Amino acid sequence: MRALIAGAGRLGTQIAQVLAAARNDVTLLDIDEDHIAKLEGHLPVRLLAGDACEPTFLEHAGALTADLVIAATGNDEDNLVISLLAKRQFTVPRVAARVNDAENAWLFDQNWGVDTAVPAATPLISLIEEATGATDTVALLRLSKAGVDVIETAITPQSRAASCTLAEIPLPAGAVIATVIRDGQPTVPAPEMRLQPGDELLVVSHAATEQEIHTAFQ
């Protein structure tokens, strides 16, 4: 699947990381050139700086061949414009948009090209399930024909993995840590990295269950 994500904030980067880990072709866009530059080397996706509300930039980013567009900026007006362009001008099959202000939710419908409107408070996994139409999962995200699962877990002060390095955590067979999200930024998971309360991890698994992954960290 070819996915185009507009908005490289915390939500956009998390979605990009999950979709990329599940072997999708992902392009992440943001209007802030400096922010995009900081993400270089930290995400296994194509990164582009520019205004996703501009048709020429969306076309350059690959909207003509995208299977999915997710408008995940922090501005509802921008998300509506991006959705409308994606659906009407580029005929993208599936368009999802983040609703930042609940009072604007009524606008996010087919008239603006939105197939799926997602409230800002929606959990990451649920958001991606709704956006991609992968409704056959609850806590696990199954987006790959190869059977790759992406499991999300968070470190709390009570977690057994708190203060441990990644190398010290015995992961189940077939599980790999795709990224550690700290302070809203995805981080390359080096073995010597020490986990802290508040860290969020995305674990890619070919065989381990959700319970086995959570047991390793919690």
DSSP, res 209: -
Q: Of the candidates 104, 132, 160, which is a domain's last residue?
A: 132
Q: Of the candidates 74, 105, 132, which is a domain's last residue?
A: 132
pTM of the full predicted structure? 0.65
Q: How confident is the model at residue 190 (pLDDT cuts 50, 70, 90)?
A: confident
DSSP, res 138: S
Q: Residue 6 domain-assigned?
A: yes
Q: Residue 179 domain-assigned?
A: yes
Q: Residue 138 domain-assigned?
A: no
- Taking the C-alpha atoms of residue 67 and residue 71, their distance in angstroms, rounded to an integer, is 13
- Per residue in 137-162, pLDDT tens? 333 344 443 455 677 788 889 988 99
In this structure, what CATH number is given to the domain that contains residue 104? 3.40.50.720
Tell whether 159 and 128 lie within a shared domain: no
What contacts 24+ positions apart, CB below 8 Å, involve 139-148?
139/210, 140/210, 141/18, 141/22, 142/22, 143/1, 143/18, 143/19, 143/22, 143/23, 143/24, 144/22, 144/23, 144/24, 146/23, 146/206, 147/206, 148/21, 148/22, 148/23, 148/204, 148/205, 148/206
- Look at the chain and count its residues: 218
pLDDT at 143 (0 to 100): 43
Token reading at 187: 């981080």
Residue 15 belongs to domain spanning: 2-132
The number of beta carbons lying within 10 Å of the beta carbon of residue 150 is 24
The number of beta carbons lying within 10 Å of the beta carbon of residue 121 is 8
82 class by beta-carbon count within 10 Å (0-12 exposed, 13-18 middle, 19+ buried): buried
Segment 169-192 mean pLDDT: 80
Residue 134 has pLDDT above 60, yes or no: no
Higher pLDDT, 209 or 124: 209
Please give the share of the chain, as a percent, with pLDDT higher than 70: 84
pLDDT at 62 (0 to 100): 96
Segment 35-53 mean pLDDT: 92
Tell whether 156 and 126 lie within a shared domain: no
Q: Residue 141 domain-assigned?
A: no
- Per residue in 67-120, pLDDT tens? 999 999 999 999 999 999 999 999 999 899 999 998 999 999 999 999 888 887
Residue bearing tokens 């649920």: 126
Tell whether 177 and 104 lie within a shared domain: no
